């Protein structure tokens, strides 16, 4: 079940510069695991050592923050749209 | 045979119900009654009935639908003495409005009775010309423009985002603009910081920005805050402003201004940029929305979030994000439309479908803006962001300032 994932600029060095990739999985957690298989190194930027979403990274499932859904266990299905949006500080 | 003006007036009198001031006041106490003042703008400015909606006679047919879409709504027409409003009522009748009344004696009779009236801000001829495109927008108008002229906005950072934000706010006539920046203009800024100029390289950014703002709009008062924002000075600096706009460039300042605005109950318009990517939102917990900490409870460690100086930023991108920040500030000041509270617009401008609107929510356990905050004052933000406090921290932040 391929899911489209939008990759933010700071993480594109793991995806060969590509801004949108596909990954398989029935939950956010499994999609991230599959992303790691396809793009090694990306998992560590999203999850901390205990496997929780890092507190400066947000993941949106169809525009909704997964923290207010079922966190990493939020279910995903074909055609869903996942956006990864880390905190960025720039302004000057 | 052509009709004389007397014929037309007599015909109108026969078909439009005339009411006196007492009757008009009784009707205005009922919800749904609309009072339309059809006098010219300069007459309106000198004084009008508080409840009245001003539409000059010449624009009546063109603008009435915007103001009153219900053709059955009771509408009282009013001018200075009652004649122009009679003809105005006749015109509305032709448009299908059914419930029309003409106020006998008009504004003059109202004023002579000693009833309350208000005078709008007296605009200068220059202001009338300068803001003429605002005056015709229903959401701004003279009332909105007066609000903008009386408002005070603090802009944190006179750099990439601060340039378009402050220029558009100045152009819009925001009366007082505060600029916080301790930096000086550098040649490497000019690829994106369009408020500065080549001949001003080396002078303080606030001074350079002030020159440009006043060249664009001499009526704007610029307050220069040539300081590094800190836990010690932030509350004093933001105190006098209605809206704060974050055009900063580092995490410690983002958390500092967030916490300060939450504590002071002020709306914070926020924007951030990275190469071709950027986002904007409004943090306003007092209006039910989230704060920056709800969104990102902890800062990214320095090695995971390179600054603009390290990662680069495209010149036109802050034009987009900074303009949205200016727009959101103006919406907040006017009370117009729906501000980006609880919504973040996210742009990835390299892609062809580059806009996302993301829902962001209040964290019920937020340490700062929740109903049970665990942090009720300001903290050491350098330490919070994993940067060495004191002197080393200041150097680090300066290095990340995109110079």
Whichever domain contains A48, its CATH number is 3.10.20.30
Burial class (CB in 10 A: 0-12, 13-18, 19+), B335: exposed
What are the backbone dihedrals phi and psi of residue B362, each rounded to the nearest 5 degrees, phi first? -75, 135
SS3 A79: coil
**Residue A34, C-beta contacts closer than 8 angstroms, at least 6 positions apart:** A23, A24, A25
Query: What count of Cα atoms within 13 Å lies in the side-chain half-sphere of residue B240?
Result: 14
**Assigned domain for A9 exists:** yes
- Does residue A54 form part of some domain? yes
**Residue of B378, B354, B186, B141 whose CA lies nearest to A6:** B354
- Supply the pLDDT for residue B129: 96
In a domain, A91, yes or no: no
| pLDDT above 70 (res B398) | no
Query: A33 CA to chain B: closest CA distance, Å?
Result: 20
The CA-atom distances, in angstroms, between A40 and each of A6, A11, B277, B363, B384 are 16, 11, 23, 32, 30
Q: Does the pLDDT value for residue B386 go beyond 90?
A: no
Contacts of B363 in chain A (CB under 8 A): 67
pLDDT at B391 over 70: no
Check CB contact under 8 Å for B249 and A91: yes
What is the pLDDT at residue B42?
87
Residue B278, beta-bridge partner list: B273, B347
Min CA distance, A90 vs chain B (Å)?
4
Quote the DSSP letter at residue A19.
Answer: S
Give the pLDDT of residue B307. Answer: 66
The 10s digit of each residue's pLDDT in B152-206 is 999 999 999 999 999 999 999 999 999 999 999 999 999 999 999 999 999 999 9
| Residue A55 is assigned to a structural domain of this protein | yes
What average pLDDT does the segment B128-157 reach?
A: 95
Give domain status of residue A70, yes or no: yes
pLDDT digits (tens, 9 = 90+) for B58-79: 999 999 998 999 999 999 999 9
- Domain span at residue A69? 3-86
Which chain A residues contact residue B161 at CB under 8 A?
91-92
Nearest to A56 among B160, B300, B313 (CB): B300
Alpha helices in B217-315 (DSSP H): 234-238, 251-264, 292-295, 308-311
Average pLDDT of B220-243? 97
The C-alpha atoms of residue B365 and residue B373 are separated, in whole angstroms, by 8
What's residue B390's pLDDT? Answer: 43
Q: Which of B160, B179, B295 to mutate to test the interface with A (most CBs of A within 10 A)?
A: B295
DSSP symbols for B365-382: T-TTTSSS-S--S---HH
Name B168's Cβ contacts closer than 8 Å, sequence gap at least 6.
Answer: B322, B323, B326, B327
- Give the minimum alpha-carbon distance from A65 to chain B in angstroms, rounded to a whole number: 7
Would residue A92 count as lying in a domain?
Answer: no
State what percent of residues in chain B have pLDDT above 90: 83
Residue A50 inside a domain? The answer is yes
B30 CB-contact burial (10 Å; exposed 0-12 / middle 13-18 / buried 19+): exposed
Is some CB atom of chain A closer than 8 A to the CB atom of B384? no
For residue range B258-304, list pLDDT tens digits in order.
999 999 999 999 999 999 999 999 999 999 999 999 999 998 887 77
Write the pLDDT tens digit of every residue in B80-107.
999 999 999 999 999 999 999 999 999 9
- Tens place of pLDDT for every residue, chain A, 92 residues? 689 999 998 899 999 999 999 999 999 999 999 999 999 999 999 999 999 999 999 999 999 999 999 999 999 999 899 999 999 888 77
pLDDT of B400 reads: 35
Q: What are the backbone dihedrals phi and psi of residue A59, each rounded to the nearest 5 degrees, phi first?
A: -120, 130
- For the stretch B194-226, pLDDT in tens is 999 999 999 999 999 999 999 999 999 999 999
pLDDT at B128: 94
pLDDT tens for each residue of B344-367: 999 999 888 889 999 999 999 999
What does the radius of gyration of chain A's CA atoms come to, in whole angstroms? 12
Chains A and B form CB pairs within 8 A to the count of: 125
Residue A62 lies in a domain: yes
Separation of alpha carbons B93 and B394, rounded Å: 70
Question: A17 touching B, CB under 8 A?
Answer: no
Question: Is the C-alpha dihedral spanning A26, A30, A31, A37 positive or negative?
Answer: negative
For residue B231, the model assigns a pLDDT of 96
Per the DSSP assignment, residues forming a β-bridge with A3 are A23
Domain count, chain A: 1
CA B171 to CA B326: how far, in whole Å? 10
pLDDT of res. B389: 52
Backbone angles phi, psi at B349, to 5 degrees: -75, -10
Instruction: Give the per-residue pLDDT at B395.
Output: 36
Q: How far is the first Cα of chain A from the last one, in angstroms, to the nearest whole number? A: 41
**Spatial contact of A8 and B277, defined as CB atoms under 8 Å apart:** yes
Smallest Cβ distance to B308: which of A19, A60, A90? A90
pLDDT of B401: 33
């Amino acid at each position: 079940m391929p899911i489209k994932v939008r990759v933010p600029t700071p993480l594109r060095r793991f995806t060969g510069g590509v801004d949108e990739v596909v990954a398989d999985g029935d939950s956010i957690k499994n999609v991230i695991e599959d992303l790691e298989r396809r793009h090694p190194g990306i998992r560590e930027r999203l999850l901390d050592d205990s496997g929780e979403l890092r507190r400066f990274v947000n993941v949106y499932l169809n525009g909704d923050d997964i923290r207010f859904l079922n966190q990493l266990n939020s279910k995903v299905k074909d055609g869903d749209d996942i956006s990864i949006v880390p905190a960025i500080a720039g302004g000057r | 045979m052509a009709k004389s003006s007397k014929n037309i007036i007599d015909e109108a009198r026969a078909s439009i119900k005339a009411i006196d001031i007492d009757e008009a006041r009784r009707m205005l106490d009922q919800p749904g009654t609309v009072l339309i003042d059809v006098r010219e703008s300069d007459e309106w400015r000198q004084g009008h009935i508080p409840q009245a909606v001003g539409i000059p006679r010449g624009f009546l047919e063109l603008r009435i639908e915007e103001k009153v879409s219900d053709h059955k709504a009771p509408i009282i027409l009013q001018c200075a003495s009652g004649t122009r409003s009679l003809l105005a009522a006749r015109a509305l009748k032709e448009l299908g409005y059914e419930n029309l009344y003409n106020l006998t004696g008009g504004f003059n009779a109202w004023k002579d009775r000693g009833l309350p009236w208000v005078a709008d801000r007296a605009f200068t001829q220059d202001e009338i010309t300068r803001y003429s495109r605002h005056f015709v927008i229903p959401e701004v108008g003279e009332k909105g423009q007066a609000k903008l002229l009386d408002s005070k906005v603090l802009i944190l950072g006179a750099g990439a985002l601060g340039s378009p934000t402050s220029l558009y706010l100045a152009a819009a006539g925001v009366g007082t603009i505060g600029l916080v920046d301790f930096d000086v203009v550098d040649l490497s800024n000019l690829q994106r910081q369009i408020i500065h100029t080549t001949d001003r390289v080396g002078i303080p950014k606030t001074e350079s920005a002030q020159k440009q703002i006043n060249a664009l709009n001499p009526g704007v008062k610029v307050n220069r805050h040539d300081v590094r924002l800190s836990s010690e000075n932030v509350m004093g600096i933001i105190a006098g402003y209605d809206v704060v706009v974050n055009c900063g460039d580092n995490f410690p300042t983002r958390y500092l201004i967030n916490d300060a605005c939450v504590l002071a109950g002020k709306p914070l318009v926020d924007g951030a940029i990275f190469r071709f990517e950027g986002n904007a939102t409004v943090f306003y917990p007092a209006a039910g929305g989230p704060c920056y900490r709800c969104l990102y409870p902890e800062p990214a460690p320095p090695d995971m979030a390179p600054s603009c100086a390290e990662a680069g930023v495209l010149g036109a991108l802050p034009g987009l994000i900074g303009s949205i920040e200016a727009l959101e500030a103006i919406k907040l000041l006017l009370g117009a439309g729906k501000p980006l509270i609880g919504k973040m617009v996210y742009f990835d401008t390299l892609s062809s479908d580059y806009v996302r609107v993301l829902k962001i929510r209040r964290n019920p356990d937020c340490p700062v803006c929740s109903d049970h905050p665990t942090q009720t004052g300001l903290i050491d933000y350098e330490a919070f962001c994993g940067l060495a406090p004191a002197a080393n921290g200041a150097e680090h932040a300066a290095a990340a300032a995109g110079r």
